[in-house]
Amino acid sequence: MKVALFVPCYVDQFYPQVAVASLQLLAKLGVRADFPKQQTCCGQPMANSGCEQEARPVYRHFVETFADYDYVVGPAGSCVYHVRQHFDVIDQTPAVRHVRTATVELFDFITQVLGVTELPGAFPHKVGLHLSCHGQRGLHQANASEMTPVRDGQLRRLLAGLEGLELTELDRNDECCGFGGTFCVSEAGISARMGQDRVADHVRHGTRVLTGGDMSCLMHLEGIVRRQKLPVRVLHAAEIFNGALA
Amino acid sequence: MSQSPTHAQRSDLFLLDAERTTWHDETLWFVREKRDRAVYATPEFQELRQLASDIKDHTLSQLSEYLAQFEAAALANGVRVHWAADAAEHNRIVLGIVRQAGATRVVKSKSMLTEECHLNPHLLAHGVEVIDSDLGERIIQLRDEAPSHVVLPAIHLKKEDVGETFWQHLGTEKGLTDPQQLTEAARQHLREKFLAAEVAISGVNFAVAETGAVVVCTNEGNADLAIGLARVHIACMGLEKLIPRLSDLAVFTRLLTRSATGQPITTYTSHFTRPAEGKEMHVVIVDNGRSQQLGRPDFRASLKCIRCGACMNTCPVYRRSGGHSYDFTIPGPIGAILSPNIDMKQHASLPFASTLCGSCTAVCPVKIDIHTQLYKWRQVLAAEGHIPASKQYSMQLLSRVLARPSLFKAGGAVARLGLRFVPHALTHAPGYNPWAIARELPTPPRQSFRDWYAQQGPTNAPA
């Protein structure tokens, strides 16, 4: 099985430790992932702004980069969702079709491709899980409150399985954090307010470590946590599992 | 780019009152939670959504046939049917009917269509008194405001605001905030208007092609009272309100109010099929851009909307920006996909007033792919030149960088270096960096992942 690590552009530049943790976690699970170094970005920032036309060369570059891999694994539901959902505007060559289905989110890969549904280790902290909308509603990684009162999902289960970890129960389990890609600057006021409300929900219920599967939401929430100087650490879930797994 | 303020600019005004924003958000979230409880208690809810979606898709696929069938059935029932291509024609037709009836006093029950057509100012300008009889609508009519929500038109107002309005216009005691007493004052005031009205105007929730009847859903019974008392009833409807058969109606009545307010059904679901003895009944069928939207394959499904407002209640942006920030009769996510069809330039910012979180699509009782349409409108608006030139230019630049790994690597290094050495006050300068209004920028690491990886080499797998 030939596996590539897809490291979103902002993770590469600002959160290298998340990519390192993903790589090491995969290695501990027996998967040696390559990092094809010509990779850049999935093109979502452009498409999100209405500039899908401008994003096409970036889509084609993505496909060329990853076409030879069986799986393209990324620690970011939103970017993965973008590749799978929105690469429909370029010619659907066999390579494009392959890359669209081969690109999977890290925890989808671990639970569904590797079939690993429990990760060992301890993390004795009060942890708040932030559900990424694109992971939850786009990739169907977790139940949605629009459909059912049952709060369930693979990341929630994996976290709950760590020794000593206590999950925070939020008032609003799956409200958007307000990052929204370029929305975070084009509608900065609303974006900030949404993020502040999300963080407040976590703080109110005792979250000490805020985590999730999507670093873009977490980048936004971390920015708020640090501005407000709150006693909350923000970690990508890959960092937690990699640290907990000896 | 449009000269009118953008959604972001109007939202910033709303956000200035942080406490009120909290109140608005919590009030609508409370309605969303009521909706959730009603949905959870209805095991077949998702099947109903699919059925409703299929019925609407089918109806839209042969709308002209169903419109002709409806007209024939309504005419056979003794109803007069009028066709209006746009808002102006709708207003002319309604005024014509009022004048022909020799009337000057009109009461109107809730109708988003007549709001869309700006009927009230037209009637008032021609000497016709028109009174909104829905409580929320009456409150905003007294305040000369537009509705901020399709189901809860005065949801942007607190009871203190209503007390102030009634004190000014209805002579209630100053400082009155008790909802029961305020409602009673409105009842007394409206009762006179109901009794005096010669013409009753209503909206239409559903029009049944098979029977030629229109169905009006209210909680206050105001439509029934007005129509029962007045000599002339004018029902105004958009041409997408049709459903094929009477038996289809139950699917929608089960979905409508559960989605809207969490009630199992509206208090009144009234069928108006033919005029009573000695009275007149008119139906005005309005296009006003709908057939144009029907001709846009990516956006056609927006016409399935039954105006329940669930997408507004769930939208985290709407709840924190208020209905008036949308500058369109229908606010919220559904308004943001309907409005560019009417005026792309004026409403260019609305499809961007979303994080694309998809909650709107997940609550929509007729399964409109709202967030997908928001994304698609963005593409149309950019292609038509309705996004700021600076944004378009920077995206072109970004595309060039991201299609070339060496440029991306170099650009990233410069950005991280800049962030490390440029003083915080500059990188977070107000007015220059919208990110920094409430957020710290990430702490730039010395090394990007790609630099680290080049040094380490791939991590060896144990197996």
* B84 SS3 class: strand
Among B29, B440, B452, the residue with its CB nearest the CB of A227 is B440
Q: Let me know whether A130 and A66 are in one domain.
A: no
Cβ of B442 and A23 within 8 Å? no
Q: Does residue A118 lie in a domain region? A: no
Task: Describe the strand order of the beta sheet including A33-34 as a list of residue ranges.
Answer: A33-34, A3-5, A71-74, A103-105
Cβ of A49 and B403 within 8 Å? no
Domains of chain B in sequence order: 1-16+309-397 (no CATH), 42-291 (3.40.50.10420), 404-456 (no CATH)
pLDDT at B421: 84
- Side-chain-facing half-sphere of B67: CA atoms under 13 Å: 19
pLDDT at B422: 86
Distance of alpha carbon A221 from alpha carbon A204, whole angstroms: 15
Q: Does residue A20 lie in a domain region? A: yes
Task: Select the residue from A1, A14, A151 to test the B interface by mutation, using most B Cβ atoms within 10 A.
Answer: A14
CA distance A221 to chain B (A): 8
Does B88 have pLDDT greater than 90? yes
Tens digits of residue pLDDT in B9-61? 999 999 999 999 999 999 999 999 999 999 999 999 999 999 999 999 999 99
Cβ of B442 and A223 within 8 Å? yes
Which residues of chain B does A9 touch, with a Cβ-Cβ cutoff of 8 Å? 402, 408, 412
Q: Which of A113, A146, A168 is the last residue of a domain?
A: A113
Distance of alpha carbon B192 from alpha carbon B212, whole angstroms: 32
Distance of alpha carbon A123 from alpha carbon A217, whole angstroms: 22
pLDDT at B462: 42
Which residues of chain B does A222 touch, with a Cβ-Cβ cutoff of 8 Å? 440, 442
pLDDT at B463: 38
Q: Which of residues 135-174 of B touch A (CB under 8 A)?
A: none
Cβ of A223 and B362 within 8 Å? no
Does A122 have pLDDT greater than 70? yes
pLDDT at A246: 78
Tens digits of residue pLDDT in B37-49? 999 999 999 999 9
Q: Let me know whether A97 and A158 are in one domain.
A: no
Handedness of CA B60, B63, B69, B72 (dihedral sign): positive
Distance of alpha carbon A175 from alpha carbon B355, whole angstroms: 11
Among A32, A134, A185, the residue with its CB nearest the CB of B461 is A32
The more confident residue out of B430 and B204 is: B204
Any idea which of B243-257, B421-435, B443-457 has the lowest mean pLDDT?
B421-435
Q: Does residue A84 lie in a domain region? A: yes
Q: Does residue A164 lie in a domain region? A: yes
Q: Does residue A34 lie in a domain region? A: yes
pLDDT at B3: 65
The torsion defined by the Cα of A205, A209, A214 and A217, in degrees rounded to 10, comes to 60
Which residues of chain B does A73 touch, with a Cβ-Cβ cutoff of 8 Å? none
Cβ of A12 and B25 within 8 Å? no
Q: Does residue A120 lie in a domain region? A: no
Tokens representing B266 are 């509206």
Distance of alpha carbon B108 from alpha carbon B134, whole angstroms: 8
Cβ of B442 and A15 within 8 Å? yes
Q: State the complex-level ipTM.
A: 0.97
Does A102 have pLDDT greater than 50? yes
Among B353, B392, B439, the residue with its CB nearest the CB of A223 is B439
CA distance B410 to chain A (A): 11
The nearest alpha carbon in chain A to B406 belongs to: A38
CA distance A40 to chain B (A): 6
Pure H helices in A87-187: 94-102, 106-108, 133, 154-160, 183-186
Amino acid at B242: L
Q: Give me the mean pLDDT over the B271-290 stretch.
A: 97
B354 in A contact zone (CB under 8 Å): yes
Cβ of A47 and B39 within 8 Å? no
Task: Select the residue from A2, A10, A13, A151 to test the B interface by mutation, using most B Cβ atoms within 10 A.
Answer: A13
Most distant CA atoms of chain B, gap in Å = 91
Task: Describe the strand order of the beta sheet including B280-286 as a list of residue ranges.
Answer: B80-84, B280-286, B232-238, B199-202, B105-108, B129-132
**What's the pLDDT band for B2 if we cut at 50, 70, 90?**
very low
Distance of alpha carbon B327 from alpha carbon B336, whole angstroms: 10
Cβ of A184 and B452 within 8 Å? no
Q: Let me know whether A201 and A180 are in one domain.
A: yes
Q: Give me the mean pLDDT over the B103-108 stretch.
A: 97
Phi-psi region of B147 (alpha: psi -120 to 50; beta: other; left: phi over 0): beta
Does B461 have pLDDT greater than 80? no
Phi-psi region of B457 (alpha: psi -120 to 50; beta: other; left: phi over 0): left
Cβ of B461 and A220 within 8 Å? no
Among A20, A30, A187, the residue with its CB nearest the CB of B452 is A20
The answer to whether B210 and B243 have CB atoms below 8 angstroms apart is no
Q: Let me know whether A164 and A191 are in one domain.
A: yes
The answer to whether A3 and A110 have CB atoms below 8 angstroms apart is no
Domain span holding position A172: 126-244
Q: Which of A89, A113, A137 is the last residue of a domain?
A: A113
Q: Let me know whether A38 and A103 are in one domain.
A: yes
Q: Let me know whether A139 and A109 are in one domain.
A: no
Any idea which of A118-127, B291-300, B387-396, B451-460 has the lowest mean pLDDT?
B451-460
Which residues of chain B does A60 touch, with a Cβ-Cβ cutoff of 8 Å? 403
Angle subtended by helix axes A215-227 and A188-204, to nearest 10: 80
Q: Does residue A119 lie in a domain region? A: no
Please state, rounded to an integer, the average pLDDT across all residues of chain B. Answer: 95
Q: Let me know whether A134 and A238 are in one domain.
A: yes
B431 in A contact zone (CB under 8 Å): no
The nearest alpha carbon in chain B to A27 belongs to: B461
Tens digits of residue pLDDT in B133-169? 999 999 999 999 999 999 999 999 999 999 999 999 9
Domain count, chain A: 2
Task: Select the residue from A141, A146, A172 to test the B interface by mutation, using most B Cβ atoms within 10 A.
Answer: A146
Read off φ and ψ for residue A91, nearest 5 degrees. -50, 125
Q: Let me know whether A107 and A154 are in one domain.
A: no
Tell me how many degrees the CA angle B252-B253-B254 measures, rounded to the nearest 5: 90
Among A50, A60, A147, the residue with its CB nearest the CB of B362 is A147
The nearest alpha carbon in chain A to B6 belongs to: A187
Q: Which of A87, A113, A139 is the last residue of a domain?
A: A113
Residue A221 belongs to domain with CATH number: 3.40.50
Distance of alpha carbon A95 from alpha carbon A45, whole angstroms: 23
Among B356, B363, B442, the residue with its CB nearest the CB of A180 is B356
Q: Let me know whether A108 and A134 are in one domain.
A: no
Tens digits of residue pLDDT in A143-196? 999 999 999 999 999 999 999 999 999 999 999 999 999 999 999 999 999 999
Which residues of chain A does B380 touch, with a Cβ-Cβ cutoff of 8 Å? 50
B268 in A contact zone (CB under 8 Å): no
Task: Select the residue from A6, A54, A78 to test the B interface by mutation, using most B Cβ atoms within 10 A.
Answer: A54
Please state, rounded to an integer, the average pLDDT across all residues of chain A. Answer: 97
How many contacts does A have with B, using Cβ atoms within 8 A? 234
Bridge-based pairing state of the strands B213-218 and B206-208 = antiparallel
Residue reference for tokens 């839209």: B60
- The fraction of chain B above a pLDDT of 90, given in percent, is 87
Which residues of chain B does A197 touch, with a Cβ-Cβ cutoff of 8 Å? 25, 320
Q: Let me know whether A140 and A71 are in one domain.
A: no
Among A39, A57, A192, the residue with its CB nearest the CB of B439 is A192
B352 in A contact zone (CB under 8 Å): yes
B8 in A contact zone (CB under 8 Å): yes
Q: Let me know whether A95 and A144 are in one domain.
A: no
Q: Does residue A223 lie in a domain region? A: yes
Cβ of A49 and B391 within 8 Å? yes
Does B417 have pLDDT greater than 90? no
Most distant CA atoms of chain A, gap in Å = 50
Tens digits of residue pLDDT in B373-412? 999 999 999 999 999 888 888 888 888 889 899 998 888 8
Task: Select the residue from A183, A187, A194, A196 to test the B interface by mutation, using most B Cβ atoms within 10 A.
Answer: A187
Q: Let me know whether A101 and A141 are in one domain.
A: no
